[in-house]
Structure 1
Amino acid sequence: MVRTRAWRRTQARKCDNDKAVRPLKFKPEKNWKLLYTRADKLVRARQLGMSYPIRNTRQLLDLE
């Protein structure tokens, strides 16, 4: 009998094995609208390597 990945997954589901359904510990939001607080948006922007809040050229010149 050949035991493939599909067989192992079926057995894991039958035996209610913990490895069959393991939720992710951290799943970041993909939609900016779903990030409610400014702090969350700043953290997510840092993870993505973006600058947030997004400023136009005029705003950047005014800061200097």
Structure 2
Amino acid sequence: MERTRAWRRTQARKHGNDKSTRRLELKPEKNWKLMYTRADKLARARQLGMSYPIRTTRQLLDQA
């Protein structure tokens, strides 16, 4: 029996290996530079316990 592309696709669907039906999990960005929105960066900074935007000592003194 010749196993064609159609047969392989059918088998993949039958056994749950079809890439088109595979559910992709949404994972957060690992690289800080790839986080696009300010809201995402603020939320991530809150999770990490750091202040964002990062301010220099001079900026902190000027603010006080």
Structure-1-length-normalised TM-score: 0.57
Percent identity reads: 76
Rg comparison, structure with higher value: 2
- Give distance in 2, aligned partners of 1:27 and 1:48: 16
Gaps of 5+ in 1: 1-14
Corresponding residue pairs, total: 47
- Give distance in 1, aligned partners of 2:48 and 2:23: 25
- Give distance in 1, aligned partners of 2:48 and 2:60: 21
Alignment of structure 1 residues 32-43 onto 2, 5 Å: 32-43=32-43
Report the counterpart of residue 48 of structure 1 in structure 2: 48
For residue 22 of structure 1, report the CA deviation from its aligned partner.
7.8
Does 1 or 2 have the higher relative contact order (CA < 8 Å, sep 6+)? 1
- Give distance in 2, aligned partners of 1:61 and 1:32: 26
Structure-2-length-normalised TM-score: 0.57
Find runs of 4+ consecutive structure 1 residues off by over 3 angstroms.
21-24
Alignment of structure 1 residues 10-25 onto 2, 5 Å: 16=16, 24=25
